[in-house]
Amino acid sequence: MKKLQKTILTMAAGAIFATALTGCSADSGKSTTPETTTAGTTTAGTTTAEGTTAAQAAETDGTSGPTSGAKDHPEIKYRRMPTATSDLFEAGIIPILEKAGYTFTPLEITDSIQREIALSEDEIDMHVDSHTAFVNSFNKDQGTELAPVLAIPTVPTGIYGGTKDSLEAVADGDKIAFPNDASNEARSLQLLSEIGFVVMDASVEPTQYTTANVKENPYNLEFVEMKGGTIAGVRTDFAFIILRGSDAYNAGIDFGTALAAESQKDILADNRMQLVVNGKHKDETWVQDVIAAYKSEEFKEFMKGESSFWILPDYLQ
What would the pLDDT profile of 227-262 be if each residue is shown by its tens digit? 999 999 999 999 999 999 989 998 999 999 999 999
Question: Quick one: pLDDT band at residue 69, thresholds 50, 70, 90?
Answer: confident
The span from the CA of 218 to the CA of 7, in Å, is: 42
The alpha carbon of residue 40 and the mean position of all alpha carbons in its chain are separated, in whole angstroms, by 22
Whether 47 shows a pLDDT value over 70: the answer reads no
Please report the pLDDT score of residue 192 as a whole number: 98
Query: In terms of DSSP H, where are the helices of the chain?
Result: 3-12, 54-61, 84-88, 94-98, 112-120, 132-142, 182-194, 245-250, 285-294, 297-304
> pLDDT > 90: what percent of the chain?
69
Whether 12 shows a pLDDT value over 80: the answer reads no
Whether 282 shows a pLDDT value over 60: the answer reads yes
20-34, 46-60, 178-192: least confident range: 20-34
Whether 14 shows a pLDDT value over 70: the answer reads no
Average pLDDT over residues 80-87: 90
State phi, psi for 261 to the nearest 5 degrees. -155, 165
Q: By the 8 A CB rule, do 124 and 78 touch? A: yes
Rg (CA), the chain: 20
Question: Quick one: pLDDT band at residue 8, thresholds 50, 70, 90?
Answer: very low
* Beta bridge mates, 175: 222
Please give the helix or strand (H or E) that residue 317 lies within, else none: none
Q: By the 8 A CB rule, do 126 and 290 touch? A: yes
Hey, is 274 helix, strand or coil? strand
Please report the pLDDT score of residue 67 as a whole number: 55
